[in-house]
Structure 1
Amino acid sequence: MIGIVQYGAGNIFSLTSALDRLGISHGMIEKESDFDLYDRIIIPGVGHAGAAMNKLQQTGLVPHIQKLDKPTLGICVGMQLMTEHSEEGDANLLGIIPVQTKRFADSADYKVPHTGWNRVMAEKENPLFKDIPEASHFYFVHSYYIEYNPQYTLASTDYSLKFSASIWLNNFYGVQFHPEKSGVYGEQLLANFSKI
């Protein structure tokens, strides 16, 4: 059963709809004791990383999230929150995975935000991407990216530069794209996470 951290900065409806379509049981985490009800955790997020971190701190859940030993998946801003720091709001984040979140440079060739479908290239074998063909397309909406570091990158994408589309350390996973909006392969990824 998946617990979704509810802190006021996530697109919960799209995610819960996808989990419902997959027949995956889920509920909301709003206080520390709620973590005990679930065997997997999702941290959603849309919008501004600095503002999202402030909202998460207000819940009092930050120390518990940092100590989680259950499979935990951050989606979009939820993944960025797992990093050390974001240029968005010059914010210190959860510091779970030692990488940085940076802003795409504006250019004539690459519009910011990066919006739409893009190829995701696996860098490591991992059950999160089981039964998902190499170079499958996923749906992105973001102006900030996680710097590419091969030690922690599970999958990468190119958009003006190579960045981490998915990161992984121990029981913590993150995806920059929105699996709940990425069709059949996005649903496959959520199904895979439910079995990790």
Structure 2
Amino acid sequence: MIAVVDLGIGNLANVRKALGGVITSDPYAIEGAEKIVLPGVGNFGAVMEKLEPLRGVIIDAINDGKPLLGICLGLQLLFEGSEESPGKPGLGVFRGNVVRFQGVRVPHIGWNQVWQRKECPLFEGIKDGAYFYFVHSYYALPEEDVTVGVTDYESKGAKVVFTSAVCRDNVYAVQFHPEKSGRNGLRLLENFRRL
């Protein structure tokens, strides 16, 4: 079973529809799941507060080798913290922090390409430079070698190249919304389901 973590935010039904499984905030259901999806939209600090009671269950699942997929804010929550909520720690699965876009239009909304930097099973059968749908104002700055995809965001005469996908061992995360990304997104979710 796949547990889609319900933090009371976001469009979880489309994620569940693509993957199967259950939408839940029950720690026992999450603990018993074979795979976990951590979706998220909203404010880093507010969502971390909702996630705090599940921190131990999620970290234990990762340490037990269960595949976990973070989506959008779910990617950001896997890092140590965010400029959006100074002093509020993230899950700390990956070293690094989350920063706000500077010099470009915020938020970054719309279709953009993901350039694969390393092999990752999430992107099996998805061509390099494939388009995915983004909605975010912050992005992760990893302090370790976990970036598997990057995206070039250009606006207002400026350009930011940011990490849009990370992977290490059994933990995967994407800054974009695969559930809103058509065929490429569905393929990525199917790849996760098959892990």
TM-score with structure 1 setting the length: 0.90
Q: Hey, what's the Cα distance between the residues in 1 that align with 2:144 and 2:126?
A: 20
Partner of residue 134, structure 1: 128
Say which is worse superposed, 143-152 or 156-165, in terms of deviation: 143-152
1:50-102, CA deviations, whole angstroms, 9 ceiling, x for partnerless residues?
A: 11101111xx2111111222000000001100001101121210000112110
2:66 to 70, 90, 93: 70
Q: Secondary structure at the match of 1:161?
A: strand
Whether the aligned pair in 2 keeps the contact of 1:9 and 1:46 (CA below 8 Å) is: yes
State the partner residue of 1:193: 192
Alpha-carbon distance in 2 for matches of 1:82, 1:52? 12
Contact 1:148-1:162 within 8 A present in 2 as well: no
Q: Give the letter aligned to residue 34 of structure 1.
A: A
**Amino acid across the alignment from 2:145:** Q
| Aligned counterpart, 2:81 | 85
**Over aligned residues, Cα RMSD in angstroms?**
1.4
Q: How far did 1:104 drift?
A: 0.4
- Corresponding position of 1:175: 174
Gaps of 5+ in 1: none
Q: Alpha carbons of 1:137 and 1:149: their partners in 2 closer, same or farther (altered >3 Å)?
A: farther
Gaps of 5+ in 2: 154-158
Change (3 A) 1:120 1:148: farther
- In 2, the alpha carbon distance for the partners of 1:36 and 1:45 equals 19
Percent of pairs identical after alignment? Answer: 41
Q: How many positions carry a matched residue from both structures?
A: 186
Alignment-mate amino acid for residue 68 of structure 2: T
Q: Which amino acid aligns with 2:181?
A: S
TM-score (structure 2 length as normaliser)? 0.90
Show structure 1 runs of 4+ deviating over 4 A: none
| 2:94 and 2:144 in contact (8 A); partners too | no
Is 1:35–2:4 an aligned residue pair? no
Cα distance, 1:14–1:88 mapped onto 2, change above 3 Å = same
- In structure 2, the partner of 1:101 is 98
Q: Is the 1:75–1:178 Cα contact (8 Å) retained in structure 2?
A: yes
